[in-house]
Structure 1
Amino acid sequence: MSLSNSQKKYLRGLTHHIDPVVMVADKGLSENVMAEIEQALEHHELIKVKLRGEREDRKAWIQQIAEATGAELVHQIGQVACYYRRNPKKPKVALPA
């Protein structure tokens, strides 16, 4: 799944009003953290993740989350990254064409 620029722009607008649902801290991407991210993506489709660590660590974590979950990185600013993965059974976010 790949999002167009207009779809990413639309999703970025939606992320302004949501709070981070998962926080990645010193211990990095443990199995429990990845399970929480998976569950949040299934339930919400569009999530915000707070990444507390060094810049290189955050960059690696952002990439790992996208690869492991199959979610699309909507955008990343500082210590916050936003991901979108459509729920095939119960879609909640209607994307523009």
Structure 2
Amino acid sequence: MLSGKQKRYLRGLAHSLQPIFQVGKGGTNDQLIRHISEALERRELIKVSVLNNNLDDPREIAEELAAGAGAELVQLIGRTIILYKESTEYKQIELP
């Protein structure tokens, strides 16, 4: 579980990132979650955008992706999700 200070730090780092995954009208599936897990192992911090043609609640999508990938939900702004998971092999981010 991340503290408020850690989340604030990660939000600052994520500000300049571009979303690398998009959740469309098909919603989430096992393959998307697997790709997100692999990306989190390499990058530790990623953005995911929920497209406008997806009618599901972005909060539910964010929680499902975080739970499936074993990651922490850092922030949800509108339809943009920020996820963090500490990498075992490629650790780059030192949390305060």
> What is the alpha-carbon distance in structure 1 between the residues aligned to residue 13 and residue 56 of structure 2?
25
Gaps of 5+ in 2: none
Taking only aligned residues, the RMSD between alpha carbons, in angstroms, comes to: 1.2
> What is the alpha-carbon distance in structure 1 between the residues aligned to residue 56 and residue 25 of structure 2?
13
Normalising by structure 2, what TM-score? 0.90
Aligned to 2:26: 27
> What is the alpha-carbon distance in structure 2 between the residues aligned to residue 90 and residue 40 of structure 1?
11
The alpha-carbon deviation at position 33 of structure 1 amounts to 1.4
> What is the alpha-carbon distance in structure 2 between the residues aligned to residue 34 and residue 44 of structure 1?
15
Q: Which amino acid aligns with 1:54?
A: L
Aligned to 1:87: 87
Percent identity of paired positions between Structure 1 and Structure 2: 35
Normalising by structure 1, what TM-score? 0.89
The alpha-carbon deviation at position 32 of structure 1 amounts to 2.3
Q: Which amino acid aligns with 1:3?
A: L
Aligned length: 94
Gaps of 5+ in 1: none
Aligned to 1:45: 44
Q: Which amino acid aligns with 1:34?
A: I
